[in-house]
């Protein structure tokens, strides 16, 4: 069994192997990036910007069911179904308003959220539970976005994961083998070897992360931001208390609760940030849910992730690489 440790790689001096391993890792990373680019390549024109976008569908693209929930909560607040109240200990929560209108005019998803918060608005698990339950009602949004090529299909996400797994195995196998040889021969100075392996593996994980919102979805969100960016500057005029209007709903659907900062609805942002502790990314959606409007965050003031993303942003205006906020997938053959 001497051949297992006595061979070209096993006998290579430490400094020489580190140089070799570093170059090898770079080659694997370049290969991984190129394969992912091929999976993501899609020259199909983006959908045209609608004159009246669906705020719930945009929210789902931006951050999945978790973001849809907050647009619904904002709608219910504006329509007079929910109030924001503070308890003695300083906690802030929703409660149903007295003499609330009949819920017959609400959409099914709005009616379900209202029922949830009317029964147990102060429960610490209310956000987690409600996000999980409205996912089924978000199916029309998910299907529409997938049909438009703005969300990655399960097959596309699987192919993306497969590329990452292959790259990880290639890096870990060589590094692990050399680590075994070093330890079996009594060498313990393996810090740089581990550093190269860990850093390379993290880069692979970052590049191949499977985010529901793909590059087309991110580009579409950016176009929506450009087309309706003036809404954010007009927020004080648009956000009239207890007066529902399409522009206010679109503002929150497109930019998230961060757009409510420094307005009469500022408590929404504080409650949103607090709710992130109760709703894990696996219940999110879209790209890494960014309440600022896009999938994974690259330029935000607070980051912590369309259906399973990692980070969440409470404010900011730009995201990249994913949706995701974000958190974001791609298609093609492997």
Termini Cα distance of the chain: 37
Query: Is the distance from CB of 303 to CB of 282 less than 8 angstroms?
Result: no
For 59-76, what is the mean pLDDT? 92
CA pair distance 201, 25, nearest whole angstrom? 9
Range with lowest mean pLDDT among 57-61, 97-101, 226-230 = 97-101
pLDDT over 90 percentage in the chain = 29
Q: What angle do CA 129, 78, 82 make, to 5 degrees?
A: 45
Confidence band for 278, pLDDT divided at 50, 70 and 90: low
Instruction: Answer yes or no: is pLDDT of 141 > 80.
Output: yes
Range with top average pLDDT, 39-53, 69-83, 224-238:
69-83
Residue 279 is predicted with a pLDDT of 53
Residue 314 is predicted with a pLDDT of 36
Residue 144 is predicted with a pLDDT of 92
The more confidently predicted of residues 5 and 324 is 5
Residue 210 is predicted with a pLDDT of 66
Write phi, then psi, for 102 (nearest 5 degrees).
Answer: -65, 145
Q: Using alpha carbons, select from 295, 300, 303, 302 the residue that is nearest to residue 321.
A: 295
> In the numeric block, which tokens belong to residue 310?
């990692």
Residue 217 is predicted with a pLDDT of 87
Burial status of residue 27 (CB atoms within 10 A of its CB: 0-12, 13-18, 19 or more) = exposed
Residue 234 is predicted with a pLDDT of 79
The more confidently predicted of residues 168 and 282 is 168
Residue 231 is predicted with a pLDDT of 85
Q: Using alpha carbons, select from 117, 147, 126 the residue that is nearest to residue 57.
A: 147
CA pair distance 138, 141, nearest whole angstrom? 5
pLDDT tens sequence across 244-276: 678 888 999 999 888 888 877 888 888 888 777
Residue 91 is predicted with a pLDDT of 73
- Could you tell me the pTM of the whole model? 0.66
For 113-135, what is the mean pLDDT? 82
CA pair distance 10, 174, nearest whole angstrom? 10
The more confidently predicted of residues 42 and 92 is 92
For 187-198, what is the mean pLDDT? 90
CA pair distance 243, 77, nearest whole angstrom? 10
Instruction: Answer yes or no: is pLDDT of 313 > 60.
Output: no
To the nearest 5 percent, what fractions of the chain are helix, strand and coil? Answer: 55, 10, 35
Instruction: Answer yes or no: is pLDDT of 318 > 50.
Output: no
């Amino acid at each position: 069994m001497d051949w297992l440790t006595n061979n070209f790689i096993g006998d290579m001096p430490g400094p020489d192997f580190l140089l070799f391993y570093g170059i090898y890792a770079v080659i694997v990373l370049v290969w991984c990036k190129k394969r992912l680019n091929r999976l993501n390549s899609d020259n199909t024109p983006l959908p045209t910007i609608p004159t009246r976008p669906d705020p719930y569908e945009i929210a789902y693209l931006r951050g999945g069911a978790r973001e849809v929930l907050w647009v619904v909560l904002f709608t219910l607040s504006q329509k007079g179904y929910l109030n924001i109240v503070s308890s003695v200990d300083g906690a802030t929560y929703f409660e149903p308003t007295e003499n609330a209108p009949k819920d017959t005019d609400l959409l099914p998803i709005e009616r379900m959220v209202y029922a949830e918060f009317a029964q147990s608005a102060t429960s610490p698990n209310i956000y987690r539970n409600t996000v999980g339950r409205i996912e089924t009602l978000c199916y029309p949004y998910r299907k529409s976005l997938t049909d438009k090529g703005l969300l990655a299909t399960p097959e596309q996400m699987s192919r993306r994961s497969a590329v990452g797994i292959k790259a990880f195995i290639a890096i870990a196998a060589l590094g692990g083998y050399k680590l075994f040889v070093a330890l079996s021969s009594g060498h313990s100075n393996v810090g740089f070897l581990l550093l190269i392996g860990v850093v390379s593996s993290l880069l692979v994980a970052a590049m191949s992360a499977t985010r529901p919102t793909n590059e087309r979805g991110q580009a579409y969100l950016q176009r929506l931001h450009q087309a309706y960016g003036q809404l954010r500057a007009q927020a004080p005029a648009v956000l009239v208390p207890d007066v529902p209007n399409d522009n206010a709903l679109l503002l929150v659907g497109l930019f998230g609760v961060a757009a409510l900062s420094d307005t009469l609805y500022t408590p929404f942002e504080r409650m949103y940030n607090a709710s992130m502790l109760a709703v894990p990314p696996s219940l999110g959606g879209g790209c890494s849910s960014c309440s600022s409007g896009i999938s994974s965050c690259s330029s935000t003031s607070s980051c912590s992730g369309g259906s399973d993303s990692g980070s969440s942003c409470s404010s900011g205006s730009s995201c990249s690489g994913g949706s995701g906020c974000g958190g974001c997938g791609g298609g093609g053959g492997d």
